[in-house]
Chains A and B, each alone.
Chain A
Amino acid sequence: SQQGEEDPQALSIQEGENATMNCSYKTSINNLQWYRQNSGRGLVHLILIRSNEREKHSGRLRVTLDTSKKSSSLLITASRAADTASYFCATDGGSYIPTFGRGTSLIVHP
């Protein structure tokens, strides 16, 4: 089954800095979604970008999608300590249920 792979596995930054994490996938997709997970809790949907879109914004989040490279990036601007969490990309290709990568663990130091 296809799966998104996030990079880096872990990221540690200072409050106020920008955080960028990337996702690569293997086969063509209908859409790609980013989720956030606070430690030990369920995932919360952040943003969805369709295969015909190249960039999308939501508050301090900016997502890009490059279907030719089969990759996406999530940028969190002006990070806050409360952004500390794991971030997952999920791809929705031929199946009806998205499949997830292993996630990027983000730590934002106050």
Chain B
Amino acid sequence: EAQVTQNPRYLITVTGKKLTVTCSQNMNHEYMSWYRQDPGLGLRQIYYSMNVEVTDKGDVPEGYKVSRKEKRNFPLILESPSPNQTSLYFCASRSGERRNEQFFGPGTRLTVL
């Protein structure tokens, strides 16, 4: 089954404790991206990647890092999480055709205390 998976689905952590949210897709998609979703603000893009070893900042990259060492994986790293990073996070992927749809993961709900 074609899908985007994220782990963990739920995470409660404390300020400053490094964490990684994994994202994996099995569709051989070139493009992958991370979004955060907050009430009243909709989805905001954090980082995106156009292919292996090619990443770029989105609209709200501060406090986040990403890597794209393999085509299927695109982890999101919070080196020192803060409470304002409490949010619902989505990973998405898309094939190289720009007119194609994005496939979204199920989301990761993160709470930083």
Contacts and interface: CB of A to CB of B under 8 A. Distances in A.
Interface stretch (B39-47, B63-71, B74-82): B39-47
Contact of B35 (A45, A96, A100, A101): A100
Contact of A40 (B40, B98, B104, B107): B107
A45 B43 CA distance: 14
Nearest to B44: A100
B111 interface: no
A103 B98 contact: no
B86 interface: no
A52 B92 CA distance: 26
Contacts of A97: 31, 33, 45, 48, 58, 94, 102
A42 B104 contact: yes
Interface residues of A, number: 24
A103 B42 contact: yes
A31 B103 CA distance: 16
Interface in B18-53: 31, 33, 35, 40-45, 48, 50
A18 to B, nearest CB: 24
B85 to A, nearest CB: 18
A19 B1 CA distance: 32
Contacts of A101: 42
A102 B98 contact: no
Contacts of B105: 42
A102 B102 contact: no
Given A48-B100, A88-B42, 7 more contacts: A1-B59, A43-B92, A43-B102, A96-B48, A97-B33, A100-B43, A101-B42
Interface of B: 4, 31, 33, 35, 40-45, 48, 50, 58-59, 88, 90, 92, 94, 98-107, 109
Interface of A: 1, 30-31, 33, 35, 40-45, 48, 50, 88, 90, 92, 96-103
